[in-house]
Amino acid sequence: MASIEDFSGLARPVIAPNTATAEDLRQRYDTLAARLQPYSITVALLPIACSYNFTIPEAAQLAASIGVRWLVPMPYGMFPACAVEIDRFIEHMLEQHPAQGSKVFECGEGWSIPESR
């Protein structure tokens, strides 16, 4: 299941499982938003590649449902068998969820969470 840690008032990251099967995720997805809503999640790192991870619309909807400030898609570009066109993610976010913060990292890029969003 998702890992939620309290970092003494810092961001509370959510890292969704990328070892679950598609069926596992689909069964958990229905209750995942309700279970995560009580937490003040700042950044959600959600897997969008491969058949056993979220689709782009599912990840975007989950982020919106739980009220995260920033959605970070993972692990695009890492595994050839799990190819995701990251441009599709960007387009989807801009067209369907323009108010939702999202961040697409370049390899090795650092980032500080902006104060406002």
Q: Which domain holds residue 62?
A: 3-102
Half-sphere exposure of 14 (CA within 13 A, CB side): 28
Kindly report the pTM of this predicted structure: 0.72
Does residue 56 lie in a domain region?
A: yes
SS3 113: coil
Each residue's pLDDT tens digit, 62-84: 999 999 999 999 876 666 666 67
Tell me how far apart the alpha carbons of residues 56 and 29 are, in angstroms, rounded to a whole number. Answer: 14
The verdict on residue 38 lying in a domain is yes
The answer to the question of residue 111 being in a domain is no
Q: Which two tokens stand for residue 105?
A: 């990292």
Model confidence pLDDT, tens digit, residues 92-113: 999 999 999 999 988 788 889 8
Count CB atoms within 10 A of the CB of residue 113: 13
Q: How many domains does the chain have?
A: 1
Alpha carbon distances (Å) from 48 to 11, 62, 83 = 21, 12, 10
Residue pLDDT, tens place only, 32-64: 888 888 888 999 998 887 766 788 898 999 999
Query: In this structure, what token pair is assigned to residue 95?
Result: 């067209």
Give a yes or no: residue 37 inside a domain.
yes
Q: How far is CA 22 from the centre of its chain?
A: 16
52 class by beta-carbon count within 10 Å (0-12 exposed, 13-18 middle, 19+ buried):
middle
- Distance from C-alpha of 73 to C-alpha of 81, rounded to nearest angstrom: 17
Residue 117 lies in a domain: no
pLDDT of residue 27: 67
59 is a domain residue: yes
Tell me if 109 is assigned to some domain. Answer: no
pLDDT for the residue 9: 46
Amino acid residing at 99? A
